[in-house]
Amino acid sequence: MAQESAFGSLKQFLVGKPIPSHLAHHERLSKTTGLAVLSSDALSSVAYATEEIVRTLMLAGAAALSLSIPIGAVIVTLLLIVAFSYRQTIHAYPGGGGAYIVAKENLGVGAGLVAGSALLVDYVMTVAVSIAAGVAALISAFPQLQGERVVLGLAFIAVIAVGNLRGLRESGRIFAAPTYFFLACLMTLIAVGAFRVLTGGVTAVSVAGTPTHSGVATLTTFLILRAFANGCTAMTGVEAVSNGVPAFKPPEAKNAAATLVIMAFLCATLFMSITLLAHAYRVVPLEESVTGYETVVSQLARGVFGGRGVPYYAVQAATMLILVLAANTAYQDFPRLASILARDRYLPRQFMNQGDRLAFSNGIVVLSLLAGMLIMAFGGDTHALIPLYMVGVFISFSLSQGGMVVRWHR
């Protein structure tokens, strides 16, 4: 009894006091909080999407980096199309579930399960990639932490898991400030960088490391398509709002749709601006080494602000926070989707259980364990994780859009 009492006290300290079920409606998200909680994944992807494009193009030589601009423009167009389609999905399926529900009802149970499985894998990858990229941003500012990459990643996962176990409303409060801090810092970086470009005050960023291999491949259509595919990481998280419609305050569908539109235009603006500035400042991707590593955003901030001053560290801190907390999008949607699959008897019924704080605790714990295993298996390397990331994203996109087309025809 004493042991159970001690465990209960520890649980209440970490998770908080139980919330009665009849107060669940008070745990809903407003548009402001919903943008922070459900859009952090999509917004944060701009921190590494441009880098994945230039890293691939660099294989054909520095001259090929100019292609990053048209590739970025195509990705932005595709992002807005997909976001518009998911806006229609929100109104058609206000109960949430996203690609799983759409594919199941319009393409059959098999397609629905494939879409649901792809989404679950995508959410696990979202946590692993976002955490790894957040640690990379931290290491860019403090190279001496390079050897602690995996430990830092696991620590961040633990913090986010505890935050979500405390329930929706409190996680919204925790994650809202870093999201808006990131938006303010990136907008400032873009404004100052654009001003210097327009006034002719741009100088190439000094290379503080070893550039990635250059000129080792021929610039082929396949290489351009590979750069496009890697850059499409900018689209990850677009579906999160449509999956989490029930988490919004009434009217749920209207609030979710408005949040999705705002998110899409913010993502498009940030991603294209970073891509244009990276080309203007001649930023090149660097190799990772035991002595440290610097991301493209870090180099750009250093070039725009003229060194590692307060503005530079503010951008790095904001980038690290948004990337680490971007995993929160998966923590909102993985447990909810798992509960829907459990309701349909495709996953263990334990995923339907809500904890003391009205969160799907079992889903949160399983997601944390799986993401932690990936961080350890890949040594926290963002570039090694991203190719796995894209599979789940595009399978769910394709099945969801296909399902909506069938629905329209009906």
List, for residues 252-308, the tens digit of each pLDDT value.
889 999 999 999 999 999 999 999 999 999 898 887 655 567 889 999 999 999 888
Which pLDDT value is given to residue 396?
85
Average pLDDT (23-52) is 78
Q: Amino acid letter at 175?
A: F
Q: Are 264 and 275 in contact (CB under 8 A)?
A: no
Average pLDDT (87-116) is 87
Query: Percentage of residues in the chain with pLDDT exceeding 70?
Result: 88
Q: Give the long-range contacts of residues 278-281, CB within 8 A, separation 24 or more.
A: 278/50, 278/54, 278/68, 279/65, 279/66, 279/68, 279/69, 280/193, 280/197, 280/202, 281/193, 281/202, 281/203, 281/204, 281/205
Residues 6+ apart with CB under 8 A from 99: 115, 116, 118, 119, 239, 243, 396, 397, 399, 400, 403
- DSSP annotation of 18: -
CA–CA gap between residue 105 and residue 43 (Å, rounded)? 30
Retrieve residue 329's tokens.
């999008």
* pTM metric for this prediction: 0.83
Retrieve residue 122's tokens.
């995508």
Give the confidence band of 357 by pLDDT, cuts at 50, 70, 90.
very low
Mean pLDDT of the chain: 84
Which pLDDT value is given to residue 97?
58
Question: How is the chain split into domains, by residue range?
Answer: 28-404
CA–CA gap between residue 103 and residue 58 (Å, rounded)? 38
CA–CA gap between residue 71 and residue 405 (Å, rounded)? 27
- DSSP annotation of 202: -
User: Higher-confidence residue: 404 or 36?
Assistant: 404
How many DSSP H helices and E strands does the chain contain? 15, 0
Q: Give the least confident one: 19-28, 78-87, 251-260, 307-316.
A: 19-28
Retrieve residue 302's tokens.
């250093």
Give the confidence band of 54 by pLDDT, cuts at 50, 70, 90.
very high
Q: Out of 1.20.1740.10, 2.40.50.100, 1.10.8.60, 3.40.50.300, which CATH number does the structure's domain 28-404 have?
A: 1.20.1740.10
Residues 6+ apart with CB under 8 A from 214: 58, 59, 61, 62
For 169-222, write each residue's pLDDT tens digit: 445 566 688 889 999 999 999 999 999 999 988 888 887 767 777 777 888 999
Helix axes of 310-343 and 361-377: crossing angle, nearest 10 degrees = 120
Q: What is the dihedral of CA 298, 301, 305, 308, to 10 degrees?
A: -10
Rg (CA), the chain: 21
Tokens 């879409």 sit on residue = 115
CA–CA gap between residue 100 and residue 114 (Å, rounded)? 8
CA–CA gap between residue 32 and residue 321 (Å, rounded)? 18
Which pLDDT value is given to residue 24?
44
